[in-house]
Homo-oligomer: A and B are copies of this chain.
Amino acid sequence: MIVVMKKDATKDQVEHMVQRITKLGLKPHVLVGVERTVVAAVGPEVDGLKESLEAGVGVAEVLPILAPYKVASREVKAEPTVICTGSLVVGGGTIGVIAGPCSVESEEQLLSTARACKAAGATALRGGAFKPRTSPYSFQGMKEEGLKLLAAARDATGLAVVTEVMATEDVELVARYADVLQIGARNMQNYRLLEAVGKSDKPVLLKRGPSATMEELLLAAEYVLDGGNPNVMLCERGIRTFESHTRFTLPLASVVYLHAKTHLPVVVDPSHGTGHTYLVPQMAAASVAAGADGLILEVHPHPESALSDGYQSLNFSQFSDTMALCRRVAEALNRKM
């Protein structure tokens, strides 16, 4: 159920409603909007629940939540969620650009990339310190040392840091250095990990699994929201199909669909979504045109010698051109980038 509070409802009345919901054995989620506050009551059906909640002081309306995902649903919160952390703003008409190397490889590589990305207009730095790799024999990332280099790059450039966390036992460590915790596509349904980042105070970038449906993605986000963390960015990064001229198939209609169903912002990853450098600039522009709230792009000083994903990374000048292209589209659509 969604309890819509009156415009002039007091903090006390909202707090009272939260307690009332808790006593009924349900879980309250408070969503503060510009105009009104809403309290979602999530849990098993209880007889006479609607009537009981309607009787609360300061209540305007009580409505059922039809979507299987509750807190993520637009039914509960019509206004888009805007995520702000350090230099990064995603949503609400502002397009965040998260750029950087696939893997942190060295101080030199990371710092030069961070500086070039910042100069071209990126608003956050990406870089993998813990790398989930298909083969146990591939480079697994620089781990904590990589995190330290990311933090140093933030100090040097002011760019917020986005980096992946692969395991519950690492959440605390990664959160110490990162501004945004990335959940990779392979871990989209690693529910313990979702629960763990749901308890963090750092925003989460949740990547769609390559065969996940929209409902599965939104329910994965719901694990994080239900854990208490309201700041989730969904990330479309391509799906597995029969197509072989691209690494994945990047379905941009999901951006429009998600905007219809959820208030959470949607980021697109044209680097993984295509797997080829030459496809990235125009697919980034198309993502902006489709309404993306953010882009995440792989940039490397020398893509040809990258330790991972070089064939899909932009070099500095390609990144700068991509930014210029996207900015033209964004401006034409009255969005900030």
A residues with CB within 8 A of B: 42-43, 68-70, 132-137, 166-169, 186-187, 189-192, 209-211, 213-216, 219, 222-223, 226, 239-246, 249-257, 260, 273-274, 278-279, 282-283, 285-291, 325, 328-329, 331-333
Contacts and interface: CB of A to CB of B under 8 A. Distances in A.
9 contacts: A166-B192, A168-B168, A186-B191, A213-B243, A242-B242, A245-B254, A250-B251, A252-B283, A256-B282
A219 B278 CA distance: 23
Query: Taking the full assembly, how many copies of this chain does it contain?
Result: 4
B241 A253 contact: no
Contact of A211 (B134, B211, B278): B211
A286 B290 contact: yes
Contacts of A325: 333
Contact of A213 (B68, B214, B242, B285): B242
B250 A279 contact: no
A293 B211 CA distance: 27
Contact of A136 (B137, B226, B244): B226
A283 B328 CA distance: 17
A246 B242 contact: no
